[in-house]
Amino acid sequence: SATDDGATCVFVDGVCETCSGETDGTGTIVDNDSNNDGICDSNVTPGCQDESACNYDSSANQDDGSCTYPGCMNSGACNFDTNAGCDNSSCVFQSAMIFSDFEHTEGGNGNSDDDDDDDDDDNNGASGGSNGYTNGYGTSTVFWSIWNEGGSDCRLAGADASFATSGTRCVRLRDGSSTSNMTTDDLAFSNFEVIAITFNFQAQSMESGESFHLEYSTDGGESFSTTATYVQGVDFSNNVAYEGWNESISAEFTDVTQFRFRNDGSNNNDFIYLDDIYINGCVDGSSEPCNTGDSDGDGVCDDSDLCTDTNACNYDAIANEACQMVDACGICGGINGTYDADEVDDPTALIAGDIAITALADDRGNNKNESMLGFVLLRDIGKGTVIHFTSNEWNGTDWRTEHDERVTWTANQSLSAGQQVILNRIDDNDSYAECLILGCATNFESGGVSDADYIRGGTNVGAGTLTFYGGGVDFWSDGAVWIYQEENDVPQHLYVFGDDLGSNGNTGVGTLIGDDLGEDELDEVFSFEYTPSNTSQFVLKQESRTAESASGALGFFEEMNDESQYDFHNDPNKIKNISDYIDFEVSNAANTITISNGGSTTSDIVVINSNSSVFIAEESDCDDIKLYHGNFYSCDGQSRTLKVKGDISRYSASATFNGGQGTMELDGTEDQEIDAGNSTAPDGDFAFKNLKIKEGKKVGVKGHVKMKSGGSLEFEDNVPGQKIEMNTEFSSSLTLQSNATGTASIGSCTVNNFGLGSDQVFTFERFIPADTDNSWINIGAYVTGTTVADWTTGVSGMLLFEYNETSYGSQSAGWNYLWNGADELTPGNGYMALIPAGVSGTISVTGKFEMGDVTLPLTFTDDPNQSNETVDGWNMVSNPYPAPVNMISVLAHAENADVTSYYLFDNTGAGSYVETLANGTGDAPSTLDVGQSIWVKVNQNTSITFKESDKVVGTSGTFVREFDPSFQGSIGVGIANYSEQWAHAFVRFDEAATTAFIPSEDALHLNTEVHSDLRVWMEAENGEHLSIQSAGSLENTPFMPLHVTSGVGGDVVFSLLEQEVMPANVCAVIEDTETGARAQLGMDPFVVNLPANTLYEERFVLHFNAMPSMALTSTVCDGLDVTELEGEWDAWSLTWSSDDGSASGEGMPYELANGEYTFMYALPSLVCANEIEVEVNAACLGDFNLNGERDIIDLLFLLAGLPGNNGAANLDFETADCDCDGVVTVLDMLTFLTVFASQCD
């Protein structure tokens, strides 16, 4: 141990150093700061300290070299940076992009057959075969895309799926032979300065030092330059998948540039697998992105390049026009000449009427036609559309299983309406079967070595492909041939033809072309039966739609005489004639037509597309109405009439028959039928508003039909034999609906007007509106078999009472509460119902109803126990008919002389009875509505008689109930132009409403919406177009977008339509969102100039702004008194001016001279203002009778007004207070005497 201190002592620095710990003199200093940066090793936090780096770590106190920096991380970009740690949005994308994933199956693949080579031997198919891709350089649509295999050491095989980085295929290069490569086609890259190639790869069994190469050529493959060499053990390892490998190549590229991947292994076990290759061309480092590529290398991005197919007949890299092909007549850009080389399948679902048969022939005779069929498209169809042809019969529910021959035609490109397609020899199922597009007479062949009548011609360019199942379709041996599509394996029948359409039970039942009145229950519009012969060849007859050929061809066909009759090519008149065989046909999607005055009485109306609608714009006539899909409106809401001579048929649930607000008159001279098409599946999609039966015939009803609320069923007066008869062989019904707008009714009738006479049964609805309070209503039964439960279940919480006049005692002694739900209510009896507050409901009862005159007994019971005759003789009776009646007419009948008036309970306020006398004077409504009861008082036993002549239709009342408290008013907007076009729309504000479409609150916009008409409407949440929209409360409805069609164009004026109840303190502003112009409706004119025939969706918006309110009153003593009632006044400016212009000012005046003034308060930021007119008068003191003089008459007025003289009844207080001291005393007399006998002026 040391005995004294020497110079050998060492000490730590007090920062990081520590002593090693020995105490025998051998201790040393431990550094603890290995890099001498002043941070002790134990306190080091390693990380990236560069603030510009992606992974900068603010807590790091020692940089560990891990920093990564921003760059382009998109492997598809020209400047992709594999070292980037985060993307900085600097990516520059290609002006051209070619992507090869080696997955798609169309086209050739370089092998000698249609399959890829899945074996592992040395035979790799046809060496150097076709690359199968000749239509430019877009995204691959074949296995090989732009790449070509080098030979036997290059393969594309599903067997290599485990090495594919996407999908199930990749390219394998093996060995290092002259065939161990794959090379692109010539690429037109002369416009590019930089080419970026990104690819995925994986190596297997490559020995250390062995490599593969990426090379390029600018001389069409004569020589290659190496741009990159990848060495095993240096750049990559075996059995590792590398993705996003990127190389950028700068060179003087040409239009014969090629790229090549080449393996440089040593034997057949050295493999390189390549997949997902991108080739991107960039003009320079700052070029604008061309995200969709430039597949034909013409410098125009594909998203704006109209043609990228160098094989198009009009291809021009500079002109950039839409690609066109040579059509069937050899014309570049002819019919179906414009096409999309990369078109994808977009099959079209067809319906009956979308195609028309133009020609057919069978091989019945020797040396005659093989089975041939021609059809013309009446609508555009997409690529991949499939149509089936079968000689199998339809039995009503399915095909006959033992007879299943079928041919399927598939469109291999989109085709335009008007294209005719011919299917030849479809009975053969052999190499002679063909599908042709016809249309050029110069392409026709007639005859042959032995087939004098064999018709051929046209080309198969774009005509489609044929697939045979179970043999072909042989017309002459099959009685019926169906044309159809399938939807979820369910046939959608389009057409049927043959020489015996009823063979083997074939029927139209269960199809969309069925007609239970037609031959074999088939609609003749979509069926054709011909008489067989040795020359059974027919073409569509052009001259007449009802011709019959000499050989017996019915309907629209005639015997074929000349090949030119097939020529529909680019002949719109002939195509029009085809479609004209369905009059008023609507077949194109989203097509709407309007039938105006002059509709032919021999024309059918046929709606055959789900997006089509027919409107009746003026009084018109027609024959049959047939709905396959789509919508039919009998009018546009203006009570128009359509006279129908034939039948009305709905063939599918996707069709809607909407009676609108008009009248349908069935005035054919023969029996007519209404087939609602819903007998097996009842729905509410077949409804009339007003239906009138005329001409003394029967109208049969099959299925379930509705009569709309407020509508009516009527019969022509004094015409025997006319009746409506429900089809008892099918589920059928007629429902008379009811809602807040009214109740459907049956007009004047007799038992002879109904198929079951007095036993006729319909379903009747009756709506009961809500009230703010518990309230009583006069109600009555009019349907036989109605029970208490029918009413109490229809209206929740209803309490029902009847009154028995014969009960002794006070008037209240006659009441009886009906508690038994099974009790029947007697038609014609009256009842009182107590309805809970806020409750509405609809009563629905099915049963018989009253017809003819109805007499109801009335009693008078003289109670011997009391002498008060006012309580005796009160009877409650009801309207016995399912139609409103005119009570003045009822009381005018001689039989009803003892009934001098009637009473009805009015719920307004506290509730009271209102009376109307027989002469029509009084407060009770003159129309007694359906299901409504009244009180009558008589003084003897008698009766009251209702007659059919008392009925009134076209008017509809409701129960007398209070005003709906949730209704806040409505605002109407009108638009008009100087060509006398106009349109209206209305917005209702109701706290209980929403922006969703509710039929009882909103009104559909039933007018046509063609752009040539001036129209305005709103749109509900579900897309319904509305002319009236109930849009919630004012507080929750700040604005309402409008949809406007401009009509003939020019200046369009928007104006306010005053309503009976306007919302209080609301400023309605119309805004043009395109220009920003605004104006307050009702204050300033708003005129906008619009081009013609244009639809504006939500360009114009109605804004609803709250305004403050004030009241101005002028009195003799107090002058002008202004009261600010409610609202935020701070932002509003107030101005005033006298009407004669003598005075004006801002803010509130303290005094004003006598005169008339206008006060205006405004908020310019909202374009809102309000004006209030006020008259300031200092009354002529003492001129109480306002004759301009103060005379003896005025003195008498004043004396009568003094206290003690009943002054309140003769002169109001303020008028008599001449000295304005707040009381009327003798002092007011003394004040008056100072001006007595003087003129006011």
- Check whether 1191 has a pLDDT greater than 90: no
Q: What is the band of 730 on the pLDDT scale with cuts at 50, 70, 90? A: very high
Q: Do 436 and 422 form a contact (C-beta atoms < 8 A)?
A: yes
Quote the pLDDT of residue 336: 53
Measured in degrees and rounded to the nearest 5, phi and psi for residue 47 equal 165, -175
Q: Residue 474: which pLDDT band, with cuts at 50, 70 and 90? A: low
Delineate the domains of the chain, giving CATH numbers in brackets: 1-33 (no CATH), 92-282 (2.60.120.260), 355-579 (no CATH), 600-736 (no CATH), 766-950 (no CATH), 967-1106 (no CATH), 1109-1176 (no CATH), 1180-1241 (1.10.1330.10)
**pLDDT for res 224:** 94
Q: State residue 426 phi and psi, 5-degree precision.
A: -80, 5
* Residue 832: per-residue pLDDT: 87
Looking at the predicted structure, is the pLDDT value of residue 1216 above 90?
Answer: no
**Quick one: tokens of 114?**
């249609």
Point out the least confidently predicted range of 20-34, 262-276, 696-710, 813-827.
20-34
pLDDT exceeds cutoff 60 at 958: no
Q: What confidence category does residue 417 fall into, taking pLDDT thresholds of 50, 70 and 90?
A: low
**Cα 882 versus chain centre, distance:** 37
CA distance 811 to 945: 25
Across the range 197-226, mean pLDDT stands at: 94
Tell me the average pLDDT across 268-276.
93
| CA gap 641, 621 in Å, rounded | 9
* Residue bearing the bigger pLDDT, 27 or 472: 27
Q: Out of 912-921, 957-966, 1072-1081, give the one with best mean pLDDT.
A: 1072-1081
Give the Cβ contact number of residue 1226 at 10 Å: 9
CA-wise closest residue to 760 among 710, 681, 701: 701
Can you give the pLDDT at residue 455?
Answer: 33
pLDDT digits (tens, 9 = 90+) for 1117-1168: 666 666 655 567 778 888 889 888 888 988 877 777 778 888 888 888 888 8
Does the pTM exceed 0.75? no
- Stretch 388-414: mean pLDDT: 81
* Mean pLDDT, residues 273-285 taken together: 77
Average pLDDT over residues 1201-1213: 48
- pLDDT tier at 995 (50, 70, 90 boundaries)? confident
Query: 176 pLDDT band (50/70/90 cuts)?
Result: very high
**Residue 636: what pLDDT?**
42
* pLDDT band at residue 514 under the 50/70/90 scheme: confident
- Contact between 973 and 1016 under an 8 Å Cβ cutoff? The reply is yes
Q: Percent of the chain at pLDDT above 70?
A: 69
Position 399 pLDDT exceeds 70 = yes
Task: Give me the pLDDT at residue 957, please.
Answer: 53
Q: What is the mean pLDDT of the chain?
A: 75
Q: How many other C-beta atoms can be found within 10 angstroms of the C-beta atom of residue 1081?
A: 21
DSSP calls for 479-506: S-EEEEEEETTEEEEEEEEES-TTGGG-
Cβ neighbors of 287 (< 8 A, separation 6 or more) are 78, 92, 95
> What does 1176-1227 look like in DSSP terms, one character per residue?
E----TT-TT-SSB--HHHHHHHHHHSTTS-HHHHS-HHHH-TT-SSS--HH
Strand segments (E) across 982-1072: 982-990, 1003-1004, 1014-1019, 1025-1030, 1039-1046, 1050-1057, 1066-1072
CA atoms of 104 and 102, how far apart (whole Å)? 6
Angle between helices 1226-1233 and 1192-1201 (to 10 degrees): 170
What are the pLDDT digits (tens) for 91-127? Answer: 765 555 677 888 753 332 233 233 334 333 333 322 2
Scanning the structure block, which residue is given the tokens 């700061």? Answer: 33
CA 518 – CA 149 distance, rounded (Å)? 64
The DSSP code for 8 is T
The answer, yes or no, to whether residue 780 has pLDDT greater than 60, is: yes
Q: What is the pLDDT of residue 304?
A: 61
- Residue 75 confidence (pLDDT): 66
Range in 97-111, 763-777, 1221-1235 the model is least confident about: 97-111
Q: Is the pLDDT of residue 438 over 50?
A: no
Q: Predicted confidence band at 1116 (pLDDT cuts at 50, 70, 90)?
A: low
247-256, 587-596, 1188-1197 — which is least confidently predicted? 587-596
d(CA 472, CA 454): 18
Is a pLDDT exceeding 90 seen at residue 845?
yes
Paired with 201 in beta bridges are 242, 274
What per-residue confidence (pLDDT) applies to 219?
Answer: 94
Q: For 541-585, how does the pLDDT look when each residue is reduced to its tens digit (9 = 90+)?
A: 433 333 222 222 223 344 444 434 333 333 333 333 333 333 333
Mean pLDDT of 959-964: 48
Query: What pairs with residue 614 in β-bridges?
Result: 593, 632
pLDDT at 726: 95
Please compute the mean of the pLDDT values over residues 597-623 and round it to a whole number: 60
Nearest-angstrom CA–CA distance, 535 and 537: 6
Q: pLDDT tens digits, residue range 612-642?
A: 566 665 567 777 888 877 777 654 444 567 8
Q: Does residue 1020 register a pLDDT over 70?
A: yes
Q: How far apart are the first and last CA of the chain?
A: 138
- Token pair for residue 1061? 């109840």
950 versus 622: which is more confidently predicted?
950
Query: In percent, how much of the chain has pLDDT > 90?
Result: 24
